[in-house]
Amino acid sequence: MDLGFRMHAERTPNPNSIKWVMGKRIVEGSASASFDAPPARDVSPLAHQLFSVDGVVGVYFAANFATVSKRENAEWVDIAQPIVDVLKNHLGSGEPALGPGYRAVAAEAGGALVQRICRILDDEIRPAVARDGGDILFLGFREGVVELQMRGACSGCPSATATLKMAVESRLREEIPEIREVVAV
């Protein structure tokens, strides 16, 4: 069967996550989705199937990749092929990764300051984090504190705290002095 696309795996800084890069888009536009528990089939048929692989504990989709996270005591050598099979079969079927029941997490609305924060995140930080199979989602800004959600390979990654504090917080504070701290929620 010719699926019309290629796929390869990339290691991430998180030893329990692998980024599977597809030769075609798996979600539309700038959409992304993160699941830390099996979703209903109508929410995400692809994530639903990936969670059926014993050892899978997290799934993140963006643009043309899926980051799959495993439980710590599972071995990649045992679960990689079943993950590849699910990805190839699902994407070859033409069925979307996200179903009609999917609802994106909405970020808190805000003024000019929030727009500046989001612009820096979107233009500089999120593309860099995506190269490692993850994402950082803006959730809100309250009393000088930026609230972010770590997704994909960033969720549970040993270096995520350092990335958050040394890279994200430093960059945002450099541009926006009103920011006191950046925290993962």
What does the DSSP assignment read for 70-106? E-TTS-HHHHHHHHHHHHHHHHHHT--SS-TT--PPP
pLDDT at 75: 96
Residue 80 burial by CB count (10 A; 0-12/13-18/19+): exposed, middle or buried? middle
Question: Where are any strands of DSSP class E within 12-158?
Answer: 17-22, 32-35, 56-62, 65-70, 134-142, 145-152
pLDDT at 90: 93
* CA pair distance 38, 117, nearest whole angstrom: 32
- Each residue's pLDDT tens digit, 26-57: 888 777 888 999 999 999 999 999 999 999 99
pLDDT at 162: 79
CATH code given to domain 112-184: 3.30.300.130
Residue numbers in the chain where pLDDT is lower than 70: 1-5, 105-110
pTM for the model: 0.76
- Residues in the chain, total: 185
Query: In the sheet that 134-142 helps form, which strands lie side by side, from edge to edge?
Result: 134-142, 145-152, 181-184
pLDDT at 77: 96
Residues paired with 62 in a beta bridge: 32, 65
pLDDT at 1: 43
The architecture CATH gives domain 7-93: 2-Layer Sandwich (3.30)
Which part of the chain has CATH 3.30.300.130?
Answer: 112-184
Contact 55, 71 (CB under 8 A): yes
Which part of the chain has CATH 3.30.1370.70?
Answer: 7-93
